[in-house]
Chains A and B, each alone.
Chain A
Amino acid sequence: MAAPLILRRELFSLVKILGGISQLGPRGLGACSNHRKCSQTRFELLQRPNSFFHTAAYLSSTPFPITVTDEPDTLFQKVVVLIKAHDRAVLDSYEFFATMAAKELGITMGKVFEPPKDIEKLTLLKSVHIYKKHRVQYEMRTHYRSIELLHVTGCTAQVYLEYIQRNLPEGLAMEVSKTAMEKIPDHILEPMWKDLPIDDKSSK
């Protein structure tokens, strides 16, 4: 009685999801700017007008096509992932997950440490009217966890960050800072004083 209803609803919702998510481009998540030496990206998904979105048990997405290009891949000296949360237990489990994922993918890990927490305190009056001597204090604690990845290519970093970000639990915020390595421009490679003696001799 209830089973065929559930099945129909699930099928209907799956069809709608596939229709909705096909609009997403291949670099929907984990986009980074490759132009600067040290860039900072915040993990923020844009609000999409998905008024026809109907839910199913899990969000299923179509696999993105693999693109092959000739341009050289960006090299990152360091990718620092800073995660903020209110709950230390969730941070511990997420750190375990991220470190395990990096180990499985063969990414060299740098420091994985816990920066000291920040406590933001507010002192307010307890009563609506008068009673100045009786106050109430509220606090908001932000715990941090920092994961460093050393010497990664752009593709690896993109894949790893996308995987990490898709599985980010609710209530956690992530900040990614990347330090890219660039080739030294040709006009700086040779030292300038090599040209100077020739000039002096010619002038004299």
Chain B
Amino acid sequence: MATSLSSTGSARLLTALARSSLLYSSFQSRSFHATAVCCKNRAARIRIGKGDKPLTYEQALHPHHIAHRKGWLSQHTSNLKGEQGAAERTVEDVFIRKFMFGTFHGCLANEVVIKRRGNVLVVCALMLQKMTPQRFYFFIGYSEALLSHFYKCPVKLEIQTLQEKAVYKYV
């Protein structure tokens, strides 16, 4: 009992000394310490925070988990060995994601999944129930018609609605 008290007392002394010495040193010598900024990977990662930010499964897992714990958001054959057209598919995907984000403003619960089966473009999305079903049907029909016109191929939208976002963990 007595020993532990004395040890904590000495620890407090030491920390106080250390703090004072640090302050003293900062006044004396200020050194500039440079590290390479890009040592850590920052792609598609949401950094750990206080614990109040909700993350979906897609956001919580990092890109090196693709094909192990994650699937693919855009499924087409042009990235396979000996296949053409990767750049065109990527540009189409980017446009479709921006289009969906804009048309269904504030309703997207998760990332849009784009699949290509033969000629057909299937766009799958999870939506929040923020609009009435009639508005949803109108927007679905409108986006299908518009995208079919743009890409000259059948575009199907497969929408599922949720009450609220599916949270995987808080970060």
Q: Report which A residues bind B (CB closer than 8 A).
A: 2, 5-6, 9, 45-55, 59, 84-87, 118, 120, 126-127, 131, 133-134, 136, 140-142, 168-173
Kindly count the residue-residue contacts between A and B in the assembled complex, taking CB atoms under 8 Å apart. Answer: 90
A173 and B80 within 8 A (CB): yes
B59 on interface, CB distance cutoff 8 Å? no
Residues 119-137 of B, flagged 1 when their CB comes within 8 A of A and 0 if not, give 1101000000000011001
Of chain A, the residue at the smallest CB distance from B151 is A47
A109 and B155 alpha carbons, distance in the complex (Å): 37
A86 and B141 alpha carbons, distance in the complex (Å): 32
Q: Report which B residues bind A (CB closer than 8 A).
A: 36-39, 41, 67, 72, 75-77, 79-83, 115-120, 122, 133-134, 137, 141, 144-145, 148-149, 152-157
Residue of B41, B80, B157 touching A85 (CB-CB under 8 A): B80
A5 and B137 within 8 A (CB): yes
Of B115, B122, B154, chain A has the most CB atoms within 10 Å of the CB of B154
Residue of B39, B80, B83, B134 touching A134 (CB-CB under 8 A): B39
A118 and B67 alpha carbons, distance in the complex (Å): 15
A136 and B148 alpha carbons, distance in the complex (Å): 37
A61 and B37 alpha carbons, distance in the complex (Å): 58
Of chain B, the residue at the smallest CB distance from A87 is B67
**Known interface pairs A54-B145, A168-B117. Does A173 touch B77 (Cβ–Cβ under 8 Å)?**
yes
B117 and A170 within 8 A (CB): yes
